[in-house]
Structure 1
Amino acid sequence: MADAPHPYPTQAVVLAGGQGSRLRPYTDDRPKPMVEIPGTGSPIIGHQLNWLAEEGVTDVVISCGHFAEVLQDWLASAQLPLRVTTIVETEPLGRGGGLKYAAASLPRPEEPWYATNGDIWTRFPLREMAAFHHERDAEATLALARPRIPWGVVETDAFGHVLDFIEAPPSPYLINAGVYAFSAAFRDLLPARGDHERTTFPRLARERRLAGYPLPHGAYWRAIDTAKDLAEAAKDLGVHGR
């Protein structure tokens, strides 16, 4: 009987093909993962690759699309901490189809794998998430974040008296953080075209084969969607480091 695959994945897919229209003009000449957080000297994708390498990943497949050549040129000249393969999605396949297409280039199809969206700026212990995924015998595990509400909120009592004003509190709801741990078999469950979050994930949830890993307290997470996110991330660096 063959040994079971190691529960800590050593391969990952990074989805880096989005147009990043809300980040213009930063994305007028580059894909969103190639945007630099002010003060870091590195694009978002550089941070992600360093983080994945620190967490034991040795091989990454990057799915490119919009301005693919800009990302490929940077990868060719950068000193990378792991092995990188790029693929170009030449026609829209949807999020699930794109993930399936990229996963086909992973070097070890019989082993589990991570995936992350290319616009996520985060740092948390991926190995702990992989152990959580393995312990629950899940096909897929989502990292779950609790972002801050971008507005100040007003706290009242049962009679409508204002008790306090709270600036940008944590949301009461968990959201999909755009980082995943998948079983080896998960690729076969993805649609060839379409959105896995509307097909594969709901089916796995009904079957209790989808897990959600809340990011540890104090873990840093931010999706870089707008120019304001860039400014906030740069400000956060003074507190959380790079």
Structure 2
Amino acid sequence: MNGAHHPSPPVTQAVLLAGGQGSRLRPYTDDRPKPMVEIPGTGIPIIGHQLNWLAEEGVTDAVVSCGHLAEVLQEWLSGADLPLRVSTVVESEPLGRGGGLKYAAASLPRPDEPWYATNGDIWTRFRLRDMAAFHHERAATATLALARPRIPWGAVETNEFGHVLDFIESPPSPYLINAGVYVFSPEFTRLLPERGDHERTTFPRLARERRLAGFPIPQGAYWRAIDTAKDLTEAAKELGQKEK
């Protein structure tokens, strides 16, 4: 496999998609974009934690794609003590996830190098460098992190006669899902649509061509999408347990 015997080049740039409305997180998002919502007890917004994580993983430059209430995010970024260089782009009209990614990628400082991307509402910690090496070894054009979320309901286990055997609280899903964290090769940028959703266009095409890889987040690594107020509460609780 080409590339397998060469060390993977370090990935030092990233795009953060932070333009979502966050309507399911109201009232928290009435006066701020979703990535600016603070995890209770930390005093830092979601995007602050993401930028710290990216810096720990070797990223020196990040482009934040803003939309909804962009000025709130820009104001926080301009006053925060950040561990890496951050610039922002604002979509003057909604371009969709793929279009937004392409628009932000145009501001990356090194267009001929690979880059990370992450959705602005993801709270996670795992070794991005391992994911970049996985991407490189497979000579992939794009690699997505895969998570196995817990099902939010209790599951009921039955036998073939219909007798209930057990109740399982929030079991892990049998399916892996797109975790909203990516590694992209330089050529990926031109494959993105000018507007629209790359997950319906670019990703299926790359999958058919076997140029899309999936990196399972290591077992035990923390991952959560912050979609609702309940997610915020759960994240705060999980963080408290981790610190004990």
Query: TM tier, shorter chain?
Result: over 0.9
Contact 1:16 1:31 in 2 (8 A): yes
How far apart are the structure 2 equivalents of 1:52 and 1:226?
A: 24
Contact 2:33 2:72 in 1 (8 A): yes
Aligned residues: 239
**Percent identity over paired residues:** 83
- Tell me if 1:64 matches 2:66: yes
How far apart are the structure 2 equivalents of 1:52 and 1:167?
A: 33
Regions of 4+ moved over 2 Å: 4-8, 239-242
Aligned to 1:196: 198
Q: Secondary structure at the match of 2:239?
A: helix
Give the CA deviation at 1:240: 3.0
Instruction: Give the alignment's TM-score, normalised by structure 2.
Output: 0.96
Q: Which amino acid aligns with 1:84?
A: V
Selected match of 1:145 from 147, 154, 158:
147
How far apart are the structure 2 equivalents of 1:174 and 1:132?
A: 17
Selected match of 2:189 from 187, 190, 200:
187
Please give the residue correspondences for 1:64-213 in structure 2 after superposition, counting only pairs within 5 Å.
64-213=66-215
Instruction: Give the alignment's TM-score, normalised by structure 1.
Output: 0.96
Contact 1:5 1:111 in 2 (8 A): no
Q: Secondary structure at the match of 2:132?
A: helix
Gaps of at least 5 residues in structure 1 are none
Q: Which amino acid aligns with 1:155?
A: E
Gaps of at least 5 residues in structure 2 are 1-5
How far apart are the structure 1 equivalents of 2:145 and 2:243?
A: 21
Contact 1:5 1:112 in 2 (8 A): no
Aligned to 1:54: 56
Q: Secondary structure at the match of 1:144?
A: strand
Q: Secondary structure at the match of 1:229?
A: helix
How far apart are the structure 1 equivalents of 2:175 and 2:7?
A: 34
Aligned to 2:3: none
Give the CA deviation at 1:5: 9.6
1:182-225 deviations in Å (ceiling 9; x for gaps)? 00110010010111001000000000000000100001000001
Q: Secondary structure at the match of 1:173?
A: coil
Q: Secondary structure at the match of 2:190?
A: helix
Give the CA deviation at 1:174: 0.5
Contact 2:15 2:105 in 1 (8 A): yes
1:64-86 deviations in Å (ceiling 9; x for gaps)? 01110100100111000000000
Across the aligned residues of Structure 1 and Structure 2, the Cα RMSD in angstroms comes to 1.3
Residues 5, 74 of structure 1: alpha-carbon distance in 2 compared, 3 angstrom cutoff: farther
- Tell me if 1:17 matches 2:19: yes
How far apart are the structure 1 equivalents of 2:78 and 2:183?
A: 27
Q: Secondary structure at the match of 1:129?
A: helix
